[in-house]
Amino acid sequence: MAEKPTSELDPSSTPRKKDPVVSLARYSEIGFIIPAAILLGFFLGKLADYWLHTRWLYLVGLLFGAVVGFWQMIRLAMSSYKE
């Protein structure tokens, strides 16, 4: 019985075709990451303002949410670039 070459046995060595639905889901996620992070930061800042009786922490939450959103977007773009 003849052995098959290792490239046929190893599924990771064969080039995979990307599913267009998976690509669409991945790229549409980018459009939701930044607004969701900004809104979450804003609402957490407003909650902290309410608890601590301040009026400026919502701005810190807003900026922190924007930074986290852009960081996640860049991370997602870099991981899709590697693939």
Name the pLDDT band for 15 (thresholds 50, 70, 90). low
The pLDDT-based confidence of 8 (bands split at 50, 70, 90) is low
Q: What is the pLDDT of residue 6?
A: 54
In a domain, 43, yes or no: yes
d(CA 71, CA 58): 20
Domain residue limits at 76: 26-82
83: Cα separation from own chain's centroid? 15
Query: In terms of C-beta density within 10 A (0-12 exposed, 13-18 middle, 19 or more buried), how is residue 44 classed?
Result: middle
According to the model, what pLDDT value does residue 23 have? 75
Give the residue with greater pLDDT, 50 vs 22. 50
- Look at the chain and report how many structural domains it folds into: 1
3 falls within a domain? no
User: Is residue 13 situated within a structural domain?
Assistant: no
- Model confidence band, residue 69 (pLDDT cutoffs 50, 70, 90): very high
Asked whether residue 5 is assigned to any structural domain, the reply reads no
Rounded-to-integer distance, Cα 19 and Cα 27, Å? 13
User: Could you give phi then psi for residue 9, rounded to 5 degrees?
Assistant: -85, -30
